[in-house]
Amino acid sequence: MSGLCDGRVVVVTGAGRGLGRAHALAFAAEGARLVVNDLGVGLDGAPGAGNPAEQVAAEIRAAGGEAVAHGGDIAVSEGAASLVATAVETYGRLDTLVNNAGFLRDRMLVNLDEDDWDAVLRVHLKGHFLPLKHAAAHWRAETKAGRTPEARIVNTSSGAGLLGSLGQGNYSAAKAGIIGLTLVAAAELRRYGVQVNAIAPAARTRMTERTFAETMAAPAVGFDAMAPENVSPLVVWLGSSASVGVTGRVFEAEGGRIAVMEGWRAGPRVDKGTRWRPGEVGEAVLKLLGEAEVPGIVYGA
C-alpha cells in the first residue's frame, strides 16, 4: 500500500460489518490508526449478539495495525462524545471521521409506524449529526489553540437520498437530510481546517441484500462489482490529507464507477416581473417542465 494515511487517526462508525468494516480495514492498510465503532445491533436496530467492533479491531491488530473498539451508541450525545474522546485519549489526536452507522425498517408509507420513522431518522441522521458535532468542537478547539488540523469528515448518504426508494420513506428522508447536513457542515467548518463530503454507495451489505436480491451474488470469477471494498478507496482518499480542497461534494460509488453528483440548482426559469394569476401559471410551468431535464426514477418504481 502507499501509506496514504500514515499517522492519521480515523474513526469509523458502524464499522463492525459491511461498508464500515471495509473502510476500517482499508484505512488501516494505508497506515491509519483506527477507532472502530459498532453497537452490534441487528439489521433493524434490535440488540444483537457478539462484539463486531472488537472483532474488526482485532483483525486490524493481527495484520500489524493499530485499532481500538468503541461500542457506544453514537446517536446519543454521551456516546458520540465518548467516541471522539476515545480517539484523542488513545492516540492523542483525531484526523478523520467516517459516519457510516445505520439500519433499516422498511415499510410503505401507509404502513410506516411513527416508531419506525423515528428509529431510522435517529440512527442515520442524528447518528451523523452528533459525532460530527463533537468532532467539530474538538477541531475548533485545536484551531483556537493554534493547531489548525487537516481534518476530514466523510458522511454516508444513498441513492435513496438522491432519488427516493419505494418502501423506504424513512430511510430516503434520513439520507437526503445527510446531504443537507454535509453541505452546511462543509461551509461552517472550513475555517477550522475541516473538509466535509458525502458518498452515496451501492454495495453488497446486510442492508442491501433484499433490495438487490437478484444482482447481489458474488461472481465465481472476475471482478465483484458489488463488493463493499470497492467503495472504500474513495472514502480513504477523501479521508486523507491528499484530498485537500475537496469539500461540500457528494460522490456516488459502485464497483469501479465514481460519479460526482450535482444537486439542486436552478433550471429553466421565467420571470413575469409582477405577480402571476393562478389561471396563467399552468401554461408557464408546463413550458418550463418541457425545457427541464427529466428527473431520475425513484428506486423500485
Judge whether 295 lies within some domain: no
Chain mean pLDDT for the chain:
92
Selecting among 165, 175, 192, 243, the annotated active-site residue is 175
pLDDT of 41 above 70: no
Count structural domains, the chain: 1
Selecting among 157, 158, 165, 172, the annotated active-site residue is 158
Residue whose C-alpha is closest to residue 238's, from 95, 118, 49: 95
Judge whether 282 lies within some domain: no
Distance CA 193, CA 247 (A): 11
Judge whether 235 lies within some domain: yes
Distance CA 203, CA 296 (A): 20
Q: What pLDDT is attached to residue 47?
A: 54
299 is catalytic: no
Query: What's the domain range around 20?
Result: 9-261
126 is catalytic: no
Q: What pLDDT is attached to residue 222?
A: 78
| CATH number for position 130 | 3.40.50.720
175 is catalytic: yes
Judge whether 257 lies within some domain: yes
Q: What is the pLDDT of residues 101-158, one digit of tens each?
A: 999 999 999 999 999 999 999 999 999 999 999 999 999 999 999 999 999 999 999 9
Q: What pLDDT is attached to residue 213?
A: 47
Judge whether 283 lies within some domain: no
Residue whose C-alpha is closest to residue 7's, from 103, 95, 130, 79: 95
Judge whether 4 lies within some domain: no
Judge whether 276 lies within some domain: no
Judge whether 296 lies within some domain: no
Mean pLDDT of all residues in 219-223 = 69
Instruction: Give the pTM.
Output: 0.92
pLDDT of 58 above 60: yes
DSSP state letter for 218: P
pLDDT of 207 above 80: no
Selecting among 157, 171, 192, 232, the annotated active-site residue is 171
